[in-house]
Amino acid sequence: MINRDNKNKFLVIPAIDIIAGECVRLSMGDYSKKIVYGADPLEVALNFERLGFKRLHMVDLDGAGGESPVNLDVLERVSNGSSMEIQFGGGVKSLESAARVFGAGASRVICGSIAVEEPSLFEQMLKNFGSESIILGVDVREGKVAIKGWKQECDSDIFEMISNYQKFGMSQLICTDISKDGMLKGPAFEIYSTLKREFPGVEIIASGGVSSLFDITKLKECGADGVVVGKALYEKRVDLKELSQWLQNG
């Protein structure tokens, strides 16, 4: 059993990023440097399920760079074809699009750009759908928050933003260091240790840079509650038997 998705357990969540219906990975958020790892996202998801993972991280990169989700048919197909719990992000910028994502089978929706550009809308999402179903997604590059599929940087203060949304019940955060994402050179450990120290009541999920079981172990030691892992799984940098044993002993 790879992933035990319940409270007080460290989560390891495999990632599927979608462009034009295919499963891809980017390097440092660069859409021109995509690698296609599977033409059929459902088969990729089923492989993760067979390995014992319980939760799936799915990002609609077409939607992230636009104004609404594009690959909901992929989400629906994966949801109907597997038993994995899916957290979905990319282009969710309205109450209506969030409702469509839930309707297509997601258990959790990740919101990033609107949390920066339209705080009142994100607050309304927390109210309408519940804090257990809405995840704040914060993507950073060299200390600055990036939005719209990592294409635009802004001056929002990550700590101020998290503190404000906690008042409205926000309790789940995924933080991605774009400079580390897809590079297999290790995560930005200091970000996650600082976030957990400042916000102990928020579930902190790390994302970006994982290259080994050592990185996963260190993230847990830093206080992170879980990690999204992509390229390291696709390129077999993490031994799944060792990972399973580590999770069982943890």
Instruction: Indicate the SS3 state at residue 141.
Output: strand
Asked whether the beta carbons of 173 and 205 are under 8 A apart, the reply is yes
Q: How confident is the model at residue 4 (pLDDT cuts 50, 70, 90)?
A: very low
- Domain 11-249 sits in which CATH superfamily? Aldolase class I (3.20.20.70)
Mean pLDDT of 216-236: 93
Out of 5, 60, 62, 139, the active site residue is: 139
Q: What is the pLDDT of residues 37-91, one digit of tens each?
A: 878 999 999 999 998 899 999 999 999 888 899 999 999 999 999 999 999 999 9
How far is it, in rounded angstroms, from Cα 200 to Cα 152? 29
The structure tokens listed for 61 are: 């990169």
**Are β-strands 203-207 and 226-229 bridged in parallel, bridged antiparallel, or unpaired?**
parallel
Out of 17, 177, 181, 225, the active site residue is: 17
Average pLDDT, the chain: 88
For residue 78, count CB atoms less than 10 angstroms from its CB and return exposed for 0-12, middle for 13-18, buried for 19 or more.
buried
- Indicate if 73 belongs to the active site: no
**Sign of the torsion formed by the C-alpha atoms of 58, 139, 239 and 183:** positive
Task: Give the pLDDT score at 168.
Answer: 95
- Indicate if 60 belongs to the active site: no
pTM: 0.88
Task: Give the pLDDT score at 147.
Answer: 58
**Are β-strands 22-27 and 30-38 bridged in parallel, bridged antiparallel, or unpaired?**
antiparallel
